[in-house]
């Protein structure tokens, strides 16, 4: 399995959301802060079509090749 920017970004986002969910389940305010950060980044991506994590991962690992 080849790691590329878009897939890696989705895996990292899933991991961050999992951590946020755990922190919220134990009553930590950090879970809410982390969740708010992820939501903010998704809104930024939707409005500007720029995602900082995809940009960084594309520089480090390259973009995914579409087979369609």
Cβ neighbours around 52 below 10 Å, total? 11
Mean pLDDT for the stretch of residues 59-63: 88
Task: Give the residue extent of every domain in the chain.
Answer: 5-58
Q: 7-15: long-range contacts at Cβ-Cβ below 8 A with a sequence spacing of 24 or more?
A: 7/64, 8/57, 8/61, 9/51, 9/53, 9/54, 9/57, 12/53, 13/38, 13/53
pLDDT score for 13: 95
1 pLDDT above the threshold of 80: no
**Could you tell me the pTM of the whole model?**
0.81
């Amino acid at each position: 399995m080849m790691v590329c920017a878009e897939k890696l970004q989705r895996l990292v986002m899933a991991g961050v959301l999992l951590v946020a969910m755990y922190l919220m389940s134990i009553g930590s305010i950090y879970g809410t802060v982390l969740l708010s950060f992820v939501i903010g980044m998704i809104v930024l991506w939707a409005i500007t079509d720029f995602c900082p994590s995809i940009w960084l991962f594309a520089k480090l690992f390259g973009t995914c090749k579409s087979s369609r």
